Structure 1
């Protein structure tokens, strides 16, 4: 007897179609897995790598020093550059020549700079190495503004310095006063000089005495005594008298005393001549 068996089967859904160009979402293989496994299995290998790194770091300064030692040589020449008025290029080169023959790398450039800047005329020195065996030195001199007390000079920045050859500065005004008041004297001299130019008068010098009295000197030799008080007012009074009374007779004037409240006292050259003793 044949029995018909009906077997119901479930259809298995087909695999979903893959998108073209899509990236697999599966776990990404560890590229360093093998190396990690070796290091984990052999701990001494980790220690060895650490020791190697430490040794390389410790040897780096030694290696650099050996390289520099191999490259080092003597300084063979020194070039001095700059514009010189008071200094001598030959003297500077002779002074810098003390470092010829020294180590190119070991020579302290700051020491050279400091030694050169001790020279009275030198405002600054810049020193640099030029491979393979030369030094270049750029010198900037102090710019003198005027002659100062006791045969010294004062620079435009207000620094008093005493070179052996102050006359190298040439024709400059003469300023005098206490060293601690040098900037005050410079400021007063600049103010007066600028005003005198407008009246055709030339500035030659200014003196501040220890007790505080000011005396102006014009380039024609006339002295203007201004005293200690109301110096600006007295200076303006002199200018007024010069315009009204003295401009036409300036060659006859020897000295002007502006310490009066309502005018000035004029000393004439004829008065000086008549007062001189006759032989």
Structure 2
């Protein structure tokens, strides 16, 4: 006798239906939203903390600058020249003090060739500068020229002289410095020191030495004419140098001498 009954079919999958209001259903729907809300709140908290921290760092009364440090070889400048500019920044907030303005003010000094300004934690303004190296005076005013041929007008001059005096057309600064050095090398062995070197608009040369001797070289054969003078001076002119007004070298085989005027001898009565 065969019994026929109702049972589960082999291989079939049972389907479980959850009620709409069950906890699992709510977790599936609300969980991602809650996680997103948590991320948003965490980011907001971080942003708020950064904002508060930034406000604290930028508080004018916080982290005041207290010291100024100057580094560099100073010859015509002193720290006393630089301190007044830097003093204006003492007491300002380390993070917000505008040191670009200080850099501009320092660079405006005629003796400053290069300068860098930076903050040094926790309370220091660090100034590193390179002072301009002067060569001598330029022209008839108080302008000077540095060793790189750049002209400037110094407010102070603390290095002792005497300083060379150069004069020439604009743009000839480097050429005159080079010529000065060559002339001085030529006349050093005979004891003449060059004091003044002039090149006029026609490119003619004038030299003045420390004993008052003036030499007119002209435009042509500059080196040849000066070598002739260096050879002849010790033998012929040195003994009478105090009586010589000008030596003119513009001659092919020699030179001309203009003597100083002899003051008249007063007569009796």
Query: What TM-score do the two structures reach when normalised by structure 1?
Result: 0.70
Q: Give 1:63 deviation, angstroms.
A: 7.8
Aligned equivalent of 2:241, options 238, 250, 261: 250
| Structure 2 partner of 1:5 | none
Structure 2 unaligned segments of length 5 or more: list them: 1-30
CA distance in 2, matches of 1:211, 1:109: 48
CA distance in 2, matches of 1:264, 1:128: 61
Aligned equivalent of 2:227, options 230, 236, 239: 236
| Structure 2 partner of 1:31 | none
CA distance in 2, matches of 1:258, 1:161: 33
| Structure 2 partner of 1:142 | 132
Alignment RMSD, CA only?
3.4
Asked if the contact 1:215/1:225 (under 8 Å) is kept, the reply is yes
CA distance in 2, matches of 1:197, 1:49: 87
Asked if the contact 1:79/1:93 (under 8 Å) is kept, the reply is no
CA distance in 1, matches of 2:165, 2:194: 9
Which is further off, 166-175 or 93-102?
Answer: 166-175
Number of aligned residue pairs: give it.
Answer: 237
Q: Give 1:263 deviation, angstroms.
A: 0.7
- Determine whether 1:115 maps to 2:113: no
| Structure 2 partner of 1:73 | 63
Asked if the contact 1:144/1:169 (under 8 Å) is kept, the reply is no
| Structure 2 partner of 1:170 | 161
Which is further off, 103-112 or 180-189?
Answer: 103-112
- CA shift in 2, pair 1:162/1:169, >3 Å: farther
5 Å-filtered alignment, 1:53-68, equals 65=54, 68=57
More helix per residue = 1
Structure 1 unaligned segments of length 5 or more: list them: 1-41
Aligned equivalent of 1:97, options 76, 80, 87: 87
| Structure 2 partner of 1:191 | 182
- Secondary structure of the structure 2 residue equivalent to 1:179: coil
CA distance in 1, matches of 2:170, 2:53: 52
Q: Give 1:48 deviation, angstroms.
A: 8.2
- Secondary structure of the structure 2 residue equivalent to 1:262: coil
CA distance in 2, matches of 1:277, 1:247: 24
Aligned equivalent of 1:130, options 120, 127, 139: 120
| Structure 2 partner of 1:227 | 218
CA distance in 1, matches of 2:74, 2:232: 44
CA distance in 2, matches of 1:51, 1:234: 89
CA distance in 1, matches of 2:41, 2:148: 59
Q: Give 1:185 deviation, angstroms.
A: 0.8
CA distance in 2, matches of 1:259, 1:185: 20
CA distance in 2, matches of 1:64, 1:227: 74
| Structure 1 partner of 2:25 | none
CA distance in 2, matches of 1:244, 1:220: 17
CA distance in 2, matches of 1:277, 1:115: 59
Asked if the contact 2:186/2:227 (under 8 Å) is kept, the reply is no
| Structure 1 partner of 2:149 | 158
- CA shift in 2, pair 1:221/1:249, >3 Å: same
| Structure 2 partner of 1:6 | none
Q: Give 1:145 deviation, angstroms.
A: 0.8
- Secondary structure of the structure 2 residue equivalent to 1:273: coil
